[in-house]
Amino acid sequence: MGNTITTTNFNFPGQQWVYKGKVREVYALENDLLVMVATDRLSAFDVVMPKGIPFKGQILNQIATKMMEATKDIVPNWLMATPDPNVAIGQACEPFKVEMVIRGYLSGHAAREYKAGKRTLCGEPMPEGMKENDRFPQPIITPATKAEKGDHDEDISSEDIIRRGIVHEQDYEVLEKYTRSLFQRGSEIAASRGLILVDTKYEFGKNNQGQILLIDEIHTPDSSRYFYADGYEERQQKGEPQKQLSKEFVRQWLISNGFQGLNGQKVPEMSDAYINTVSERYIELYENITGATFVKADISNIQDRIERNVLHFLENLHQ
């Protein structure tokens, strides 16, 4: 798959350092500017797959951008501009070392813990008698510590976050408030598209003025789980699996091919035909989540396109 971007090696004016995450590469420039490049890398079970997915970076970047725009009236965010389909530029922040996970439904990790007999998750009670994918009486916040490279994120309670000094109590109260507000807005946006926002995660940081800002991606299929609202109740009553809109389909394919990210397991080979179907599913996700038709960017030379667009933005910024 030649027309994907799986790694970058830019050298922008005023560049100070580069961070390469699972699917994003972040370039820190002078004047507290960050250039975040969404690559076409695919991560599942905290493992990056060997091949890129065409248009995936563009899709995630553009969903996140639209969602940042749709929530900036309730929670301030880091974003300044998106000069390229794969690029977001904004304010540098010192990230909080927790991911704020919020769950409206007993799904995914929460359902697996529940099935194993647990009735609390990160100190939050989960009522008796629930079935997988049932709605919680109220959304629960189940934070995770941000793992160092290669490690799995770990569940943690709000009490432990404060007790261990990971986040100061006053700041943590703001994170919780913002998380609930964003989930409420995200749920309303999803409902308007015939979707249910099941669970999601948010990340926050502080800028150099000490203001808490929303950072990273939000409400994308990589950071969130969606169900189709149509037929949800009927499927629950019959005990059938819910129709999902997330990258869960990739996880399920990996599980069926003997891979769950455990030691000694080998990532199964993804054929070009399968990769194209993943790309098509991501485009479908984009159109369902945003309600807009996906417009494919020119991918004849993604690296050159990104560099050209970022340099043009930086030149105009300094004029």
Where do the structural domains in the chain lie, given as residue ranges? 15-94+275-317, 95-245
The total number of residues shown for the chain amounts to: 319
What are 210-239's pLDDT values in tens digits? 999 999 889 998 889 999 999 999 999 999
Bridge partners (DSSP) of residue 202 are: 100
The answer to whether 110 and 144 have CB atoms below 8 angstroms apart is no
pLDDT score of 16:
97
Q: Round to whole Å and give the CA distance between 38 and 23.
A: 6
Architecture of domain 15-94+275-317: 2-Layer Sandwich (3.30)
Task: Assign 1 a pLDDT band (cuts: 50, 70, 90).
Answer: very low
Q: Residue 140 burial by CB count (10 A; 0-12/13-18/19+): exposed, middle or buried?
A: buried
At position 258, the amino acid (one-letter code) is G
Across the chain, what does the average pLDDT equal? 93
Q: What is the pLDDT of residues 128-166, one digit of tens each?
A: 999 999 999 999 999 999 766 555 678 999 999 999 999
The pLDDT value given to residue 152: 62
What is the value of pTM for the model shown? 0.90
Fold of the domain built from segment(s) 95-245: D-amino Acid Aminotransferase; Chain A, domain 1 (3.30.470)
Q: Is the model's pLDDT at 276 over the cut of 50? A: yes
Residue pLDDT, tens place only, 102-131: 999 999 999 999 999 999 999 999 999 999
Beta bridge mates, 99? 144
